[in-house]
Amino acid sequence: MDVISRLSRHIAFLVMIITIPLMFITVYGAVARYFFKHPDIRVMFLGECCYGIMFSLGGAYALKTGALVSMDFLYKRLPSGFRRVLDALIYSIIIISCVVLILYAAPWAWYAFLIKETSTMFGFIFQPEVWWLKWVLLISIGLMTLQALSMAWEKVVRRR
């Protein structure tokens, strides 16, 4: 299970690197809009893509590090046996939700790939391909599922 944690850490490093192009995209957009009075419609799309990738791929790492919202002050006061039952319930909900999302997202992403789906959000001027974003989402859900399985194994089965 340590392999999954290492994978989450490496993906988190990739997410940190995505921050660099996002910064340049944002600065370019501000300069183009305010100094040259010529806003670039691609800036919004690229910014949304970077943010979407960062938040979706960062989910597994957030789960691993405990960065998600929880009620720790109540959880720590519970007896260890009840905490184990609560952990099993929480991780079961996360895993089942992720599996359901994968079952719905996989055909959706596959179909988007087959038709090379593009975005018509910007009209006919700029139609970027978006099929790959759906695969990023699917991979993100898969990573979250693996991380939840790993943590469930560690906390519930191995009783850590």
For 104-130, write each residue's pLDDT tens digit: 999 999 999 999 988 887 777 778 888
Contact indicator for 8, 147 with CB cutoff of 8 Å: yes
Residue 101 has pLDDT above 70, yes or no: yes
* Total number of domains in the chain: 1
Domain, as residue range, for 41: 2-157
Full-model pTM: 0.82
Cα-based angle 66, 99, 16 (whole degrees, multiple of 5): 40
